[in-house]
Structure 1
Amino acid sequence: MKLTMRVATATIALLAGSAFSPAFAQNANQPDDDLPGRIIYEENCAACHDNPADTRAASFETLTGMTGEQIYAAISEGGMMEAMAGHLEMSEKIALIEYLVSGQTPTSGEGSWAEPLMCAADNRTVDLTGDASFTTFGVDTRSTRHASAEDTGLTTEDMRDLQVAWAIGFPDSQNVSAAPATVGNTTFINGDGVLAAFDTQDECVKWTYAGGMSRSPITYGKIDGVDTILYVTGTADVHAVNALTGEMLWEASAQPRRGDGGRVRSGVVLHNDTIIVNISASGVGGGGNYCCTGHGSVTALNAADGSWKWEWHTMEEATDNGLINSLGQMQRGPSGAPIWTQATIDETRNQVIVTSGENTSFPATRTSDAIIALDLDTGEPNWIFQAMENDIWNVHCRGDDSTAGPNCSWHWDDENIGRDFDFGGAAALTTVEIDGEPRDVFVAGQKSGHVWVLDAAAGYVIWERQIGNGTPLGGNHWGIAIDGERVFLTINDPVSYGTENPVPGVYTFDIATGEPVWEYLAEPDCENGRGDMVTLCEQKYGFSATPLVVDGALIAGTLDGKVFAFDGATGEILSVTDTAVEFDTINGVEGARGGSIDSHAVNVGNGMLLIGSGYASFRQTAGNVLVALEPAE
């Protein structure tokens, strides 16, 4: 069967609601330029995706390594490129997909990444009697990202000498960023549309669950006494899966009852009988006849069955705002203030804390670039702290006013700088002694390069510090970690954004006083062949992924694929592991290799660091492995 027919048939099957299981391997082959989709790509996509200076857009090489399903999801309703592709007919979308995947070589086998790892038939009983070492992306519902030695089986000294325990390859992925969860010897892994219970002792899979494509971190907990895995597929479909058997308990949409809905980028939080789901709709694409309509929201579901409990929106629905762009298109607003992050639970005050991003069209709202406390029972706001006013930005805001697209906010307000300075990570809750009294505080990092410490009860600023000038991809991109005394602020500052005096690295502050403790300034490492392995090696080497504290060690990953282990108290580098290399995988995926470490990729479980290596978005280095690092004997 011709490759183009397979893609077209699969795409049409998607429209009919059928599952599409792509069977194409990653490769660097050139697509067939004789296909009609090449013209569609050049006329509609190339201006961004062929432009090395456009670090927001995935490269052409990244697109040609994606599966047909992934491309289709991106350009369809709810996808990141929906606005850009909204004017294309379905026949044009199919032709575009056919062209982009036409250079790929079919894989030699069938089945998922997990199939070669299935345990023997008499060894498929899941044992969850050990320590629950990593059950949600924040480590706890306070979003501290601090895992103890007791829970993980790892100490600070263990980080001085790490080795690869095993690596698993995902043949249909270029981004490995869905955080696993670990209970006892079982690590629950989500990749290539398949969730699996992986026994880390026997190195085999107990069960699989094909819930659909997902980048969602996994949450484990008990619901009505049942060991349950929670994660999100598609745009906002929450799955509750029996952790012992892999059977679905229920599936429910977390889309809010009003508005355009949106996607879930983070994991969900389970607290007592409630599941909190944050929605990242923003309208950031800025395309189509109207810019823009999406906005962030929070949905609370009943844990027992996924039924709706309450919802809260960062703003009202967008309406015509009276502005018309240079193409004669009417603008809509307000929009934006997406919520990219997992929620934080403040049990003492019965509130849930979420953080938001920028507005994407006029008028600006007080809920953008904000830390927001909602009543856990009703969803009503208790307080809102806005870190930056009038941050109105969408993807048309590139370069300067002369080069920005027609929907950029700069054209209507010269005073509006529109910097895209989201909160990309959760606000962590901790207690510290200030002026001799214990105080509950929230700690959060922002893409402006700021770290903020707020009073937990009222949301006012206790102190703030800024490192560098910030950029749309960090500053602090995906959040911070704390150890109870110190906050660890990772700074990305990709040089490709033309940042003045970029300061990529790690910066540490005393939570109680704001005083600096130690810092590490990152430098590019492109010698000895690394420049050939790492995309834009001289530009992308900062710390973007959410860091993690294990015992007293800070674990942080870089865009050039390195895993740093620091002594959290002193800043001493305990070890550095390079993952931007090829790996022999235990599931036999050929050509598997690591790449950029970003977003939700740094995790831990059962005596091992678990690192997702590979993140092809934003012109970074593709990769397709989950790497387990353990102390060397």
Structure 2
Amino acid sequence: MRQSFVKQSLLASAVFVLVGLPVAAQTDNGAPDETLPGRAVYENFCQMCHENAADERAIPFDQLVNLPRQQIEAALGENGLMAPMAASLTADETNDLIDYLVSGQAIEQDQSAWTDAFMCAEDNRTVDLTGPETWTTFGVNTEGWRYISEEASGLTQNDIRNLEINWVIGEPDGFQMSVATANVGDTLFYAGGGNLSALDQDTGCVRWTYRFGEQTRSPLTYGEVAGQKAILFVANERMIHVVNAETGELIWQADGQPLRGDGGDIRPGVVLHEDKVLVPISASGVFPNVESCCTGHGALVVLNAEDGSHLWEYHTMEESSPNGLFNDLGQPQQGPSGAPIWSQPTVDVSRNRVLVTTGENTSLPATNTSDAIIALDLNTGEPAWLFQAMVGDAWNAHCRGTDETSGPNCPWHWDEYNIGRDFDFGGAAVIVTSEIDGESVDLVLAGQKSGHLWALRADDGTLEWAQRIGQGTALGGNHWGIATDGKTVILTINDPVRPGAPTPRPGVFAFNVSDGTPLWEYSAEADCDDGRGERLVRCESLFGFSATPLIVGSSVIAGTLDGKLFAFDIATGDLLNEIDTTVPLTSINGLPVQGGSIDSHAISAAQGMIVTGSGYARFGQNTGNALIAVRPAEN
């Protein structure tokens, strides 16, 4: 990894300053203490999933026991991912379980104060918001293209060919590195480790920090709120924070939950459009407990950008109620449920609409809003049209394998459809104008975990064309979204490789926007040589393209679950560059750092560089805690 003299000097000073900070012990973690009472809790409530090689979603035991205590506590807490599973545990059982899981870890102390020791020099702490607004939202533009021009990015294709790792920051309590950044002028805004920080993008030093003390994997949004330039993000998958971008002071915060129903997580970021903040709710009930399957459902909440007050909300279905069905333990079931909104909304400005994409139902009855693309009136939330890509996709985390091995609440036990596949739309819809038969037509494009790429007419949602790559999987197909430059659309495919699964097609695939004609493809392959097989989990099977891709001018940037950034020519598919982020890294902020899987919202741009998170391990992938900036090599 090349570092200039300036970077080397900054690194040396950072390490010197951090000597006085409490940092993580450098000893290796050992095995948990099997004599603790939490071992029995783990065996009774957790082992079935976390030691099941066929379960793609559950973090393997050997990774689970290395997660920070606060991350496990958050997952088991009231709003955490494992809250439904933990609902049947007593407080003592929960504490015993956590104590057991972390009992083999070296003692760690709070590292969130690293920003205090890594402040920029006093004459470099001013955030200048008059510079170019290179990156203001995850979709890049209102239509969600994930495209930025060479001029706006400051990166030519020749620059892309010469990208290399420039600097790395180690995030405290990382291991879920999916957070996209924002960039205005020479300031890079980044949220992680309980902090929102304004960084000097050239050196990575800190200009200000807003300390919120919770986890986030939310993309950042930059825009004007209440007459102030602001950064909007979501903490702990629930609370919306709006922070002054110049000073780091809080403007307002709001829960963002719907007024009716149980509410739910905000998994992606929020979207700021004029005077509205669009908040997607992903309450899916996908991890149900035995007694209450299933109650949650998706929603879109719209807040007043001025103060966070509630304007309107849309729900993907009615509230659940007893559906007359019983699971194989004889317990009554509820429905409908599911159809979460996993991705950021997309604004159709010309029609004054907002587009959302949804996931599967989690119990019966199945609804027509699951696995769907829905257009809503931006003022009222009334549906304008709805396109359902798959009917009857009823699935939850009890559906693990065949009918005989699935848990009691899996709809496969008593579903006339019997096709539950977990084929969400995990990424946002994209709006693009194309010429079709001499007519200028606005299309809505979206990728699905089934491996489909859909193109609908934006006026009424009618199907224009569709393509499919492979047969899809629960964590495969197109997982987190697509990108387009208006002429070519890029579909990334994950498809983990595992015994007994459908024939995988991990790779990158390009299609013509107007008619779906295939243009080129790149097939991913495992790379386990030169020590990569030893430092990566499931190196032979986890190497697909899951993260949302990005287009920079005439180049496509995409990341893999085995920690690589790839760059392709968008016209030909020629490979321009390949960067391994799992190589040994040294952080400029002095904290231990490692790269891992590139997934979710990881890839963004700043002026003259690409920024990525490396180490997304939510589904048992490769852990890591690296925020990485790559720049063209200096000649």
The TM-score range, normalised by the shorter chain, is over 0.9
Deviation at 1:326, TM superposition (A): 1.5
Give the direction of change, closer, same or farther, for the CA distance of 1:33–1:302 in structure 2 (3 Å limit).
same
Aligned to 1:178: 179
**Whole-angstrom CA distance in 2 between matches of 1:460 and 1:196:** 44
> 2:357, 2:374 within 8 Å by CA — same for their partners in 1?
yes
CA distance in structure 2 between the partners assigned to 1:527 and 1:238 by the alignment = 43
Does 126-135 or 334-343 show the bigger shift?
A: 126-135
d(CA) in 2 for partners of 1:185 and 1:26? Answer: 38
**Pairing 1:36-435 to 2, within 5 Å after superposition:** 36-107=37-108, 110-211=111-212, 212-435=214-437
Aligned equivalents of 1:76, 1:22: Cα separation in 2:
26
Give the superposition deviation at 1:464. 0.3
Query: Are the equivalent residues in 2 in contact too, given 1:55–1:496 (CA < 8 A)?
Result: no
Aligned counterparts of 2:605 and 2:499: Cα–Cα separation in 1:
32
Separation (CA, whole Å) in 2 of partners of 1:480 and 1:567: 16
Deviation at 1:22, TM superposition (A): 11
Per the TM alignment, residue 537 of structure 1 is displaced from its structure 2 partner at its CA by: 0.6
Amino acid at match of 1:32: D
Give the letter aligned to residue 65 of structure 2.
Answer: T
What is the CA-CA distance between 1:226 and the residue it aligns to?
Answer: 1.1
Aligned partner of 1:172: which letter? D
What's the counterpart of residue 438 of structure 2? 436
Partner of 2:573: 571
Matches within 5 A, 1:520-535: 520-535=522-537
Alpha-carbon deviations, 1:378-422, whole Å to 9, x = none? Answer: 111111110000000001111111111110111112532101000
State the partner residue of 1:452: 454
User: In the TM superposition, what is the alpha-carbon distance from 1:230 to its structure 2 partner?
Assistant: 0.3
Q: Please state how far the C-alpha of 1:530 moved relative to its aligned partner.
A: 0.8
Q: Post-superposition shift, 1:582? A: 2.1
1:323 and 1:157 mapped to 2: Cα distance?
A: 61
1:533 and 1:174 map into 2 onto residues whose CA distance is 15
- State the partner residue of 1:11: none
Work out whether residues 290 and 409 of structure 2, in 8 Å CA contact, stay in contact via their aligned partners in 1. no
Question: May I ask how many residue pairs the two structures share in their alignment?
Answer: 612
Q: Which amino acid aligns with 2:365?
A: P
Judge conservation of contact 1:65–1:174 (CA < 8 Å) in 2. no
CA drift at 1:202: 4.2
SS state of the match for residue 116, structure 1? helix
Secondary structure of 1:150's counterpart equals: helix
Q: Pick closer, same or farther for the CA change 1:259–1:396 going to 2, 3 Å.
A: same
In the alignment, residue 152 of structure 1 is paired with which amino acid? S
Counterparts of 1:328 and 1:521, CA distance in 2: 47
Q: Could you tell me whether the CA contact under 8 Å between 2:436 and 2:514 is conserved in 1? A: yes
Instruction: Identify the match of residue 557 of structure 1 among 555, 559, 562.
Output: 559
In the TM superposition, what is the alpha-carbon distance from 1:117 to its structure 2 partner?
Answer: 1.8
* Structure-2 separation of matches of 1:110 and 1:517: 48
Partner of 1:616: 617
Please name the residue that 2:629 is paired with.
628
Which structure 2 residue ranges, 5 or more long, are not aligned?
1-21
Query: 2:616, 2:199 → 1: CA distance?
Result: 23
Aligned partner letter, 1:621: N
Q: Which residue of 2 aligns with 1:4?
A: none
In structure 2, what is the Cα distance between the partners aligned to 1:483 and 1:261? 36
Aligned CA distance change for structure 1 residues 151 and 487 (closer, same or farther; 3 Å) = same
Using the TM superposition, give the Cα deviation of residue 41 of structure 1 relative to its aligned residue in structure 2, in angstroms: 1.0
Aligned with residue 542 of structure 2, among 522, 530, 540: 540
Letter in 1 for 2:357: T
CA distance in 1 between partners of 2:489 and 2:632 (Å): 25
CA distance in 2, matches of 1:113, 1:256: 36
For residues 229 and 620 of structure 1, what CA distance do their matches in structure 2 show? 30
* Distance in 1, Cα, partners of 2:604 & 2:29: 30
Corresponding residue of 1:16? none
Alpha-carbon distance in structure 1 between the residues aligned to 2:612 and 2:325 = 46
Q: Which residue of 2 aligns with 1:8?
A: none
Residues 226 and 307, structure 2, Cα contact 8 Å, conserved in 1 = no
Alpha-carbon distance change, 453 to 252 in structure 1, aligned in 2, over 3 angstroms: same
Inter-CA distance 460–329: structure 2 relative to 1 (3 Å threshold) = same
Deviations 1:497-532 (A, max 9, x none): 732221100111001011110001111111121111
Counterpart code for 1:385: F
Matches of 2:548 and 2:555, distance apart in 1: 14
Q: Offset at 1:98?
A: 1.2
What is the CA-CA distance between 1:113 and the residue it aligns to? 4.0
Q: How far is the alpha carbon of 1:171 from its aligned partner?
A: 2.6
Distance 1:110 1:493 in 2: 36
User: C-alpha displacement at 1:114, in angstroms?
Assistant: 2.3
> Mapping of 1:480-491 within 5 angstroms?
480-491=482-493
State the Cα distance separating 1:24 from its structure 2 match. Answer: 7.9
Q: Structure 1: how far apart are the matches of 2:332 and 2:155?
A: 57
Aligned to 2:506: 504
Q: Per-residue deviation at 1:60?
A: 1.3
Write the distance in 2 (CA, Å) between the matches of 1:73 and 1:589.
23
Q: Secondary structure at the match of 2:113?
A: coil
The unaligned stretches of length 5 or more in structure 1 are: 1-20
Percent identical among aligned pairs is 56
Contact 1:28 1:61 in 2 (8 A): no
Structure 1 counterpart of 2:384, one-letter code:
N
Q: Secondary structure of 1:574's match?
A: strand
Deviates more, 1:44-53 or 1:353-362: 44-53
Instruction: Specify whether residues 266 and 27 from structure 1 end up closer, same or farther in structure 2 by C-alpha distance, changes over 3 A only.
Output: farther
- TM-score, structure 2 as length reference: 0.94
Q: Note the aligned Cα RMSD (angstroms).
A: 1.6
**C-alpha deviation, 1:122, in angstroms:** 4.0
Q: CA deviation at 1:223?
A: 1.9
Which letter does structure 2 place at the counterpart of 1:435?
A: D
Residue 25 of structure 1 deviates from its aligned partner by 8.0
Q: In structure 2, the residue corresponding to 1:112 is in which secondary structure?
A: helix
**Matching residue within 517, 520, 523 for 2:519:** 517
Deviations 1:224-264 (A, max 9, x none): 43110000112321111000000000011110000010001
Amino acid at match of 1:450: H
| Deviation string, structure 1 residues 50-74 (Cα, Å, up to 9, x no partner) | 2222211011122222222221221
Q: Is the 8 A contact 1:26 1:172 kept in 2?
A: no
Find the residue that maps to 1:114 and give its secondary structure: helix
Question: Which residue identity lines up with residue 273 of structure 1 in the other structure?
Answer: D
Classify the secondary structure of the residue corresponding to 2:160: helix
Are residues 1:595 and 2:596 paired? yes
1:631 shift after superposition = 0.7
Q: CA deviation at 1:86?
A: 1.0
Note the alpha carbon deviations across 1:276-296, whole angstroms, 9 max, x for none.
000000011122301000000
Deviation for aligned residue 1:109:
6.6
- The alpha carbon displacement at 1:534 in A equals 1.2
1:469·1:499 contact (CA, 8 Å) conserved in 2? no
